[in-house]
Amino acid sequence: MSIRSRLVYAGRHFMPTWRYVFNLRSTLDYRKDRNDLPGEGERIVESLNRDGIALSSVERLAGLENIFLELRQAVDGLEAAHAAQLAEARSQADSDEIGRKTFLLQLLGEHPALDPESVFARLALHPQILRIANEYFGMYTQIRYYNIWHTVITLGEPRESQLWHKDREDHLILKLFVYLSDIDDGAGPFTYAPGTHFKGRIKARPQTFNENGVERWRDEEMAKILPASQWIKATGPIGTFAFADTRGCHKGGLARDKDRLVYVCLFTSPTSQAPELFIRPKMVPSLEGKAQRLALAPPARGIFA
Ligand SMILES: O=C(O)CCC(=O)C(=O)O
């Protein structure tokens, strides 16, 4: 790595330069435009700031009932259309192919086409959701990914994202998981060590091992940093909305008794260097709201955004 790349890398991982150098325009613009978040949104952002995770539901987040129903209908269709791939995923779930989550089928494909009119994009762009993401970041964020995850049962040792890890896309990273099946202990719930995100109080780092270039660790190492009794297992019924900053320590998808079905979307700052995970059409139709337009703008390549 050249000295310049090292400096840029270090700057991106240091909160003041990340915000006031790399994402200055987006931060100032948001501060100028922002309004206070109402009730449930405010509670979610407070919980994200403190713990790095917040659980809510379609009932508590008023105004999302219709789009949630639409999502469920669309996913019913996808599930039926993917019956053969699901059967294959089940037969290969316990394979230990390195670097591949054989236990996870992404129903929109590995690189879904970005379609702003689809229910999958409209949910991430919904003002209620986008306001939470933007308020948590304190800037206008971008949507880098959405998909439907169908996790199938595995019986082997935890591997890949079933082990503890931190995502690396950005300084803050917000994922929203919307539950499309009831998720209890046996369905491999997303599990989080509260306070281990950048805004959190826990600065100690667990001892890791390297799995295919990614640092991971087992429960024993995690427990040395935060006792298991304090981990948050994000169990919940259909309609649960789980928001998490996946820059903090997390794991999930170790479904032992039953499959898990969730909608996922991912928000980063405009200057995150992580590649977009969807395929962008030549022209993204212009959207009405400013936050929506910025959320689907192409990732910023320069350093001031
Ligand atoms: O499947 C899960 O719950 C874990 C997800 C995860 O590791 C991630 O989204 O980064």
Query: Which atom of ligand 1 lies at the shortest distance from residue 175's CA?
Result: 9
Mean of all residue pLDDT scores within the chain: 93
Is residue 55 scored above 60 in pLDDT? Answer: yes
pLDDT at 239 over 80: yes
E strands within 138-259?
142-151, 174-179, 191-192, 209-211, 214-216, 232-233, 240-245, 250-251
Instruction: Spell out the residues 6+ positions from residue 170 whose beta carbon is closer than 8 angstroms to its own.
Output: 247, 268, 269, 272, 274
Where residue 52 falls (left for φ over 0; alpha for ψ -120 to 50; beta otherwise) is left
- Whether 191 is in the pocket of ligand 1, judged by its Cβ within 6 Å, is no
Express each pLDDT in 185-205 by its tens digit. Answer: 999 999 999 999 999 999 998
Rounded to the nearest angstrom, the distance between the alpha carbon of 251 and the centre of ligand 1 is 6
Domains in the chain (CATH in brackets) are 3-295 (2.60.120.620)
Kindly give the distance from the C-alpha atom of residue 246 to the centroid of ligand 1, in angstroms, as a whole number.
8
What confidence score (pLDDT) does residue 304 get?
Answer: 57
Model pLDDT for residues 65-103, shown as the tens digit of each residue: 999 999 999 999 999 999 999 999 999 888 877 778 889
246 Cβ inside 6 Å of ligand 1: yes
Ligand 1 contact, 27 CB (< 6 A): no
Whole-angstrom distance, CA of residue 200 vs CA of residue 249: 11
Confidence of residue 298 (pLDDT cuts 50, 70, 90): confident
The span from the first CA to the last CA of the chain, in angstroms, equals 24
Of 23-37, 75-89, 286-300, the range with the lowest mean pLDDT is: 286-300
Model pTM?
0.95
Confidence class of residue 6 from pLDDT cuts 50, 70 and 90? confident
pLDDT at 95: 83
Is pLDDT of 40 > 80?
yes
250 CA closest ligand 1 atom index: 7
Q: How far is the CA of 3 from the centre of ligand 1 (A)?
A: 33
Give mean pLDDT, residues 25-29: 96
